[in-house]
Amino acid sequence: MAVTKRAGRKKDAGASKQAAAGGGGGKGFSKKAVFETTKKKEVGVSDLTLISKISNEAINENLKKRFENGEIYTYIGHVLVSVNPFRDLGIYTEQVLESYKGKNRLEMPPHVFAIAESAYYNMNAYKENQCVIISGESGAGKTEAAKRLMQYIANVSGGSNSSIQEIKDMVLATNPLLESFGNAKTLRNNNSSRFGKYLEIQFNAQGEPVGANINNYLLEKSRVVGQIKNERNFHIFYQFAKGAAQNYREMFGIQQPQSYVYTSKSQCYDVDGIDDLAEFNDTLNAMKIIGMTQDEQDNVFRMLSTILWLGNVTFVENDEGNAAISDQSVVDFVGYLLEVEPAHVNKALTQRVMETSRGGRRGSVYDVPLNRAQAASVRDALSKAIYFNMFDWIVMRINMSLKARGEQAHSIGILDIYGFEIFERNSFEQLCINYVNEKLQQIFIQLTLKAEQEEYDREQIKWTPIKYFDNKVVCELIEEKRPAGVFATLNDACATAHADPSAADNTFVQRLNGLSSHPNFAARQGNFIIKHYAGDVEYAVQGMTDKNKDQLLKDLLVLVGQSSNQFVHTLFPHQVDTDNKRRPPTAGDKIKVSANDLVATLMKASPSYIRTIKPNENKSHSEFNDANVLHQIKYLGLQENVRIRRAGFASRQTFEKFVERFFLLSPKTSYAGEYTWTGDYKTGAKQILKDTSIPAEEWQMGVTKVFIKTPETLFALETMRDRYWHNMAIRIQRAWRNYLRYRAECATRIQRFWRKLNGGKEFIQWRDQGHQVLAGRKERRRYSLTGSRRFMGDYLGIANSGGPGEVMADSISIRGEPVLFSCRAEVLISKLGRSSKAEPRTLILTKKNVYIVKQAMVNKQITILAERTITLGAIKFISCSNLKDDWFSIGAASPQEPDPLVHCIFKTEFFTHLTNASRGTFELKIGPTVEYNKKPGKIATVKTAKDPQVPPQQDLYKSSTIHTSAGEPPNSVSKPTPKGKQVAAKPITKGKLLRPGGPGGGPSKLANRPKPTPPPAPAAAAQPRAMPQPVAALSNGHSRTASSSSGRAPPPPPPPPGPPAAPKEPTFKALYDFNGQTSGELSVAKDEVILILQKENNGWWLAKRMDGSAQGWAPSAYLEEVVVQAAPKPTPPPPPPPTSRPVPTPPNGAAAAAAKKPAPPAPPAKRPAGRKPIPPPAPRDSGYSTAESGASNGGGGGGGASMAGGLAEALRARQAAMNKKDDDEDDW
């Protein structure tokens, strides 16, 4: 098996064939051959493992080509590299999303949807938790990738009930809500995530989302109180200030962003591509979807207002040089918002409570005034604490709404966190962010580089080691306690000099000298440098110890504890414990715990990776900065990843898991879906790979695992496994469909028999009513009394949809009008200066009118016109003769037009339908003459006469006299309906279900199966389809039975051998090749001699081969009886000369028969060898009748001629007679 590409995972009809010898598992449907004119030509390679030269520069060049061509995604094996396009490429539409459903990553171009599909599929198929780790620097597109992952998973995951849909809606609603409170504009990114989040979507065993949970990390709370120029505070402040409702403006005093210090310091109020008003509406809508009540929303906006007004509290120096409030009204309003006394706010912002202790006992308590800088610091600390705690509350509230609604089986996690940051001034926030990124890089290295190579060594797999940079030493530099790392040193400095922040910073600088020997650390002029995997970063020490303490003064905790607002107590739940002397955890401690918990969570899941790259610093959609991108390629380790992916194995599974997954693919490990392997798992895995014909170079067996080299091989195995269940389902469906078909055919046969027995009674009733209408006053034609005659009514199909009937109905505008009768007819036309002549017309009867329709040339085109329209109420009488002719007049008594004199072969049926439609309002005049108004108001009569010279099928009109032959007596009635001819029973299957033994005792669809038993009786044999016979076959197709002879001719010297025994059945030779199409038909070759067991009149004979090996039905038109001249009787000595030696006779018994008769009859004339059977005659459409039987020309000829056919022949004969006779004189 040459494995090339895995087919899709779709389980619907049209899926691909299994990979077979010499071919891959590609899809076998016509879509592959469609020429896609709109498909863009691929530039570069879509998978970096395919580049010819592995280098950072080659990777950079390939990414640049694809970026310039609008292709931002590229693979490195299963890792997706994404370059931020800084524009909408239209690649996240619903149509694009649908195209990735059920596809593996090789079937479609690289895309974030393919990563989402792979994670979702692997979770369901392998029952493992999945996670997607998105990494890259700020502005590289991590948040957008996370949103697209959520979009795809919400769309593709199953479940249609309201609970599951509600979970999906809430998961998607977390994006605008958290972006508003956690994102901000920076110099590098207009929508930069200033926090990290790990969204875990929880699924049940059916792959339906039942809940979700969000963990947030590293909110940049310092942004609340200050930003550098051209950056902004968090989006929510600008959204609220610009779009707050009037009641909020009155209740909370909200003004425009320019009115607040916290939103105006950076002098940036608007951002390109961001509509604060529209996004504020999205935020409010997301709050509703999450389930936040109106009171909760009001409290959130109250806290936002508190922060904005706190920023406007300013301080001045009093006479003692201490801080004093410059505008007491602002403090009063802050007290109103916090629902505390303004005096308490004033005291908390300008004074600090100091407590002395002696020997472990509480000492004196002093109120120490603060200077302006200290007071501003306290104010900012309160603002940051309120916002930080409120953000945590929002995440907690979201998690409450997203709590799992059912049993959780597995999950998919999406990590969207800060990218690596290097600014001109990097402080404690950047240290924490870069530390977390180092931890994530360590996971990537651990799982894709280090762990993979270590596993190859453990499993004794042939492998060429790849060198890479292990950033574990950088992580240890930051987080280790012994020897003390950066965080431990920072904690010591905070603990030693906790009273004075500047003194603590100096202590920190001094203690950092102990790390100078580390290869990834360097001290520089009061700052320090850490050599990260992404580059060297210099960190400023100033203020770092104060930020690490992350403590809210007890005075502020006392202040918020005095609030009468319950929501404030929810944000600050901890009571002040003045007796607790233990050092609270620092910000560094907290981020270490969070980072290690995150790593532990990610290590429990099967990871997928998205490595995002920022092409330029100007947010341009066309600029590609080679130097910047090359730097990102290096620190992301893409080159090492390419090398390992090219040399490594795409998949590895334990023997047990591999066998459990793929045991269906080997007949030695499974039977009918049951696991039957009794050996060890390793041998079972080898057996499966052997039976699936996977090439040996595509896999290796380790100590405990089987390793698959390329993803194409794994996809092929998965496809074969999917196809196994698909094929089993097809077999069940086929059996069920056969059963349903069998039932349907049985029902059809019963219905057909019922219709044959009871169907058409209405038409017979119309026919019998016709006898009552005539009341025994008119002679009848023999054809109208046949048992098969039915009054069908609309013979031309005027009321049908489609065909000539519809065209005629549209032409005379009677579409939709119920048609009772239609037939071809003739109308006697009288013109000045010439004799009357019958011209063809169409007679139509509806429930309202009688229409006489003709075809005329209008503008050199044949046009259908309604020549005469007679309402049923205007018909006074119908006049016809008492002979069997077909002429009658319609007495309309019109003052403008004459009465039409019509010739119609279905006159009695017309009378019957007209009687019922008009409810007998006209008089039916039957007598020796036909009366009509030849001119308006002028009564004329047409005589009738019997003329034996007129053919029985014709009527002759000449000189106002109708000549016709004698008919049946007037009191004649229709003959009984003829019974059908007894024919051999046909099988129910009609050639579809070919042998008995199917569902419910019915036939089963197993074709071309040889019959081991002797043939059944002829009556039960399968009756093949009717086939037209050549003329020669009709004349020469008689059978001739040869009689057996026991006597022998007198033995001549030397005695000749006796003739073979004559067969009991007649023998026939095939004139042409015949290939049987069903199991009941016997295939014969030209000139093959066969035996005939039974002859049927339908053109098929039951035949058997001479050796008795097979029998079946064969067309008689293809056969010719074998008649052999009897061998000449040998004469006693002398023996006959060589030229007159007897010709060997075929074993047909003809010689034996000839021995009894001195002069055998002459054989029938043979047909030419090259003659083919004539095609069946074209069906004759007379437009008159579909009745059966009824022979023409006196009843001779073929028995298959229909009544309508005979009538049509009679009309043609009559027309010929009319054309031959001389025109009579005009009788005007």
Give the residue numbers of the binding site for ATP.
Answer: 136-143
Residues whose CB falls within 8 Å of the CB of residue 1096, separated by 6 or more in sequence, listed in order? 983, 984, 1102
**Do residues 290 and 174 touch, judged by C-beta distance below 8 A?**
yes
Catalytic residue (one of 49, 124, 135, 189): 189
Based on the residue annotation, tell me whether 139 is a catalytic residue of this protein. yes
Taking the C-alpha atoms of residue 91 and residue 113, their distance in angstroms, rounded to an integer, is 10
> Of the candidates 1095, 1094, 1112, which has an alpha carbon nearest to the alpha carbon of residue 1104?
1112
Taking the C-alpha atoms of residue 547 and residue 373, their distance in angstroms, rounded to an integer, is 16
> Of the candidates 1224, 1172, 1165, which has an alpha carbon nearest to the alpha carbon of residue 1028?
1172
- Cα-based distances in Å from 983 to 710, 986, 1197: 66, 9, 21
Residues whose CB falls within 8 Å of the CB of residue 688, separated by 6 or more in sequence, listed in order? 658, 659, 662, 663, 665, 666, 669
Distance of CA 24 to the CA centre of its chain: 24
Taking the C-alpha atoms of residue 528 and residue 537, their distance in angstroms, rounded to an integer, is 8
486 φ, ψ (degrees, to nearest 5): -65, -45
For residue 201, what are the β-bridge partners? 212, 412
Question: Which DSSP helix (H) or strand (E) runs through 147?
Answer: helix 142-156
Q: Which two tokens stand for residue 801?
A: 């949809």
Residues whose CB falls within 8 Å of the CB of residue 575, separated by 6 or more in sequence, listed in order? 561
Number of Cβ atoms within 10 Å of the Cβ of 227 = 21
Taking the C-alpha atoms of residue 11 and residue 80, their distance in angstroms, rounded to an integer, is 27
DSSP character for 516? T
DSSP character for 340? S
Q: What is the dihedral of CA 238, 241, 242, 244, to 10 degrees?
A: 130
Catalytic residue (one of 279, 421, 429, 479): 421
Catalytic residue (one of 82, 143, 383, 692): 143
Determine how β-strand 819-829 pairs with β-strand 837-846: antiparallel
Buried b (16+ CB within 10 A) or exposed e, 911-938: bbbbbebbeeebebbbeebbbbbbeeee
Based on the residue annotation, tell me whether 648 is a catalytic residue of this protein. no
**Do residues 991 and 1023 touch, judged by C-beta distance below 8 A?**
no
Residues whose CB falls within 8 Å of the CB of residue 1038, separated by 6 or more in sequence, listed in order? 1121, 1164
Catalytic residue (one of 24, 139, 182, 1190): 139
**Do residues 1224 and 956 touch, judged by C-beta distance below 8 A?**
no
Catalytic residue (one of 49, 135, 193, 305): 193
Q: Which two tokens stand for residue 532?
A: 């990260």
Q: What sign has the CA pseudo-torsion 226, 227, 232, 235?
A: negative
* DSSP three-state, residue 144: helix
Catalytic residue (one of 16, 46, 138, 908): 138
Taking the C-alpha atoms of residue 1045 and residue 1060, their distance in angstroms, rounded to an integer, is 10
Based on the residue annotation, tell me whether 138 is a catalytic residue of this protein. yes
Question: Which DSSP helix (H) or strand (E) runs through 367?
Answer: strand 361-369
Buried b (16+ CB within 10 A) or exposed e, 1110-1142: bbbbbbbbbbbbbbbebbeebeeeeeeeeeeeb
Annotated binding-site residue numbers? 136-143
- Residue whose tokens read 């399968």: 1022
Based on the residue annotation, tell me whether 419 is a catalytic residue of this protein. yes
Triad 1017, 1020, 1025: Cα angle to 5°: 120
Taking the C-alpha atoms of residue 161 and residue 792, their distance in angstroms, rounded to an integer, is 56
Taking the C-alpha atoms of residue 752 and residue 416, their distance in angstroms, rounded to an integer, is 70
Write out the catalytic residue numbers.
Answer: 138-139, 143, 189, 192-193, 419, 421
